[in-house]
Amino acid sequence: MLAHHLYFTRTAFMAFVIFFILLTNSANARQTPDPGLVSLPQPAQTEPLPLGTLRDSNGQPIAIPSEPQSAFEYSAPTITPAEPSKTQTTKATKKTTKPAKTKKLTRKQQLASREQVANNPNCRWLDQRMSQLEAQMRSKQDNASQYHADELSARQQEWQCLKCGAEGPNRDDHSRCQYRR
């Protein structure tokens, strides 16, 4: 019985609070207009702009160019060639040191020769690496030169296996010929 009495009291109190809130909101609504319905102040009417004029956000006139022009104007800087690099001179000396009478090389000699390099990134890299190893061996005569000599012989075998002196490697040559440490 007491539970029914508390339920009734609680429900009556809630209804009274809701009624009071609705009553105060309707009174406030009558006093203040809805902010969505308030009209914004209108700027003073001035005479319309003539054709061909523009104004920015501050009302200042914007100049319109008479001829179309690009917003992106770029000219490449002029580059003067410097001295030829070492790699270019070494290749030039390789080609110029050939005897005047050229002999047709055998297939085996052509594969071992570094006169021509196949148009392949691996072959170009191998040629550069072998040239670098040869230069290091010429400049140093110490314990490290033995490591360079070992790597150079391995790279020469890889050069021949990849056929870099002739037409270049096939698809399966890369995995078969790669230098393994």
Query: Domain for residue 141, yes or no?
Result: yes
Asked if residue 96 is part of any domain, the answer here is no
Question: How many separate domains does the chain show?
Answer: 1
Rounded CA gap, 133 and 129, in Å? 6
Structural domain including 141 reads 121-181
Residue 154 lies in a domain: yes
75 within a domain of the structure (yes/no): no
- CB count within 10 Å of CB 152 equals 18
Q: What is the pLDDT of residues 2-47, one digit of tens each?
A: 676 778 888 888 888 898 888 887 766 566 555 556 666 666 666 7
pLDDT tens per residue across span 71-101: 777 777 787 777 665 555 555 555 555 555 6
Whether the CB-CB separation of 61 and 54 falls below 8 Å is answered with yes
Specify if 135 maps to a domain: yes
**Residue 139 falls within a domain, yes or no?**
yes
pTM: 0.41
